[in-house]
């Protein structure tokens, strides 16, 4: 008999604790036929904003020896198209969905959460408080404890019983302090981490690769950073921690569980090995989820 690896976060239930992270998985639909999405605990959508966004100009993806730099800039279809077209298709495919959201400013964010509150199909939201590739919102909010608390409190009030997950940036002095602030403001869980700041230079063009110069680094290079952050956060808060950052093999996920994570998100790793999420699920169904170590 396989182990029961189901999980509850807030009011939301998941068949297992293996999720696809926001960004690389798109809306989830892009991996149909490549990954058995019905087996995945949840797919976190690419971040949705109130209005459509074209994203950043110039190069957006750049490989590094141990990971991937990205400067996507929250490109997405906007809340109206997502709710009317993308979300019904996601649900029809049997995909368990977590909707990632962000606002570039306070007015836009408030209108976005109010719109989502009227959509009964959305029962889990991950608030992206950590994107480094936009000028407003994102990491600017997530690195300010007062703003972070304000954003979460408004979402908590507007969305009622919807499960709220706060995604935090590692590009701060003390991520565990921000996790405590998020918990106190009403978050049901913490996702840690988002990308680490980085850059590269194109030798042929003799200029930075990205128009914005700074981009977000993901992939195996950031795994030790994410592991340490999850370890600290799990010992600072009572709500679940969802680990994200650099998972490239089954063993990485097991280490996150041992560090204190209740669930894991695979992001860049699916580019290199689309079978990885199901391999992790196979392992924990056969052996159980590793217990946290002290």
Catalytic center residues: 131
Helices (H), the chain: 79-81, 87-92, 106-117, 139-142, 145-159, 175-185, 223-234, 250-259, 269-272, 276-287
> For residue 84, with 0-12 CB atoms within 10 Å meaning exposed, 13-18 middle and 19 or more buried, which class applies?
exposed
User: Widest CA span of the chain, in angstroms?
Assistant: 59
3-state SS, residue 96:
coil
Spatial distance between the Cα atoms of 287 and 294, rounded to a whole number of angstroms: 20
Asked whether 208 and 201 are in contact (CB, 8 A), the reply is yes
* Count, residues in the chain: 294
Spatial distance between the Cα atoms of 197 and 195, rounded to a whole number of angstroms: 7
Spatial distance between the Cα atoms of 222 and 247, rounded to a whole number of angstroms: 9
Spatial distance between the Cα atoms of 224 and 222, rounded to a whole number of angstroms: 6
Helix orientation angle between 145-159 and 106-117, rounded to the nearest 10 degrees = 30
Spatial distance between the Cα atoms of 169 and 88, rounded to a whole number of angstroms: 30
């Amino acid at each position: 008999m396989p182990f029961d690896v189901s999980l509850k976060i807030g009011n939301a239930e998941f068949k297992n604790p293996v999720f696809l992270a926001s960004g690389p998985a798109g809306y989830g639909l892009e991996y149909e036929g490549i990954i058995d999405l019905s087996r995945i605990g949840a797919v976190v959508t690419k971040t949705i904003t109130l209005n459509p966004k074209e994203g950043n100009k110039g190069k957006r993806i750049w490989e590094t020896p141990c990971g991937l730099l990205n400067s996507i800039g929250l490109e997405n279809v906007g809340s109206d198209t997502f709710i009317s077209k993308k979300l019904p298709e996601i649900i029809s495919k049997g995909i368990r969905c977590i909707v990632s959201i962000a606002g570039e400013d306070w007015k836009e964010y408030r209108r976005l959460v109010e719109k989502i509150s009227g959509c009964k199909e959305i029962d889990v939201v991950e608030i992206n408080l950590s994107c480094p590739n936009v000028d407003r919102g994102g990491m600017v909010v997530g690195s300010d404890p007062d703003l972070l608390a304000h954003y979460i409190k408004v979402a908590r009030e507007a969305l009622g019983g919807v499960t709220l997950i706060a995604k935090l940036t590692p590009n701060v002095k003390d991520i565990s302090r921000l996790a405590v602030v998020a918990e106190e403001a009403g978050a049901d869980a913490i996702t840690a981490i988002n990308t680490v700041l980085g850059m590269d230079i194109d030798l042929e063009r003799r200029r930075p690769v990205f128009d914005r110069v700074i981009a977000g680094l993901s992939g195996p290079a950031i795994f030790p950073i994410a592991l340490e952050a999850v370890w600290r956060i799990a010992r600072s808060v009572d709500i679940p921690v969802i680990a994200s950052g650099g998972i490239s093999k089954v063993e990485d996920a097991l280490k996150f569980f041992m560090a204190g994570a209740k669930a894991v998100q695979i992001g860049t790793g699916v580019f290199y090995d689309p079978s990885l999420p199901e391999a992790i699920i196979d392992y924990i169904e056969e052996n159980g989820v590793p217990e946290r170590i002290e």
